[in-house]
Structure 1
Amino acid sequence: MFTPLTARILPIVMLALSNVFMTFAWYGHLKHKQAPLLGVILISWLIALPEYLLAVPANRWGSDVYSAAQLKAIQEVITLSVFAIFSILWLGQKFTINHLIGFVLIGTGAFFIFRAPV
């Protein structure tokens, strides 16, 4: 269905885009704490819908070239990257050395998931 390169890249791009939507759905409202919670929940659901429309096919198509563990590792690394940028730019929070160390450790875990089996 896809070329070998597209089969590897498209799921990653789709997971990255889905993470942008999900990050806004889960955390975007923190900038607007005065908004009524029920309204925030409804808006979050609407924001999350495109996330599912991207993530589900990304994982389905990605499973042709990646294992489930590899897809999850890709997802986690993308999630942390998107969240780091989001928390700085949208929420105005500082990125500290402790955040960096934690993200590097998670990235190291992802590295081992992609390593050839021992």
Structure 2
Amino acid sequence: MPAPDHAALHALYSEHNGWLKNWLRARLGNASDAADLAQDTFIRVLTARNAQTIREPRSYLGAIAHALMVDKFRRKALEQAYLAALATRPERVAESPEARLLILETLVA
């Protein structure tokens, strides 16, 4: 993997970070989530093998950010389904220490 061109990456970030955060905010309706996903997008760019050969930066950043949004929505839906499933389960009841001792004595006998 070639060493990243820090000047090119800095220029990419400086020129497009504001645009990307606004683009994400318009789709997410939330500035903090937009900032998080913009940061994650630039981390992906930083670790990409082809970061120095980006011809259409906004298209490239938008595609990465879109994939990250899809992942975020899928995780959120999965988490909500899991929490809903947990909510339908009966509350777990713990036996009192006396009842546990009685059960253990019965099993040992």
TM-score w.r.t. length of structure 1: 0.29
Structure number with greater Rg is 2
The higher relative CO (CA closer than 8 Å, separation ≥ 6) is in: 1
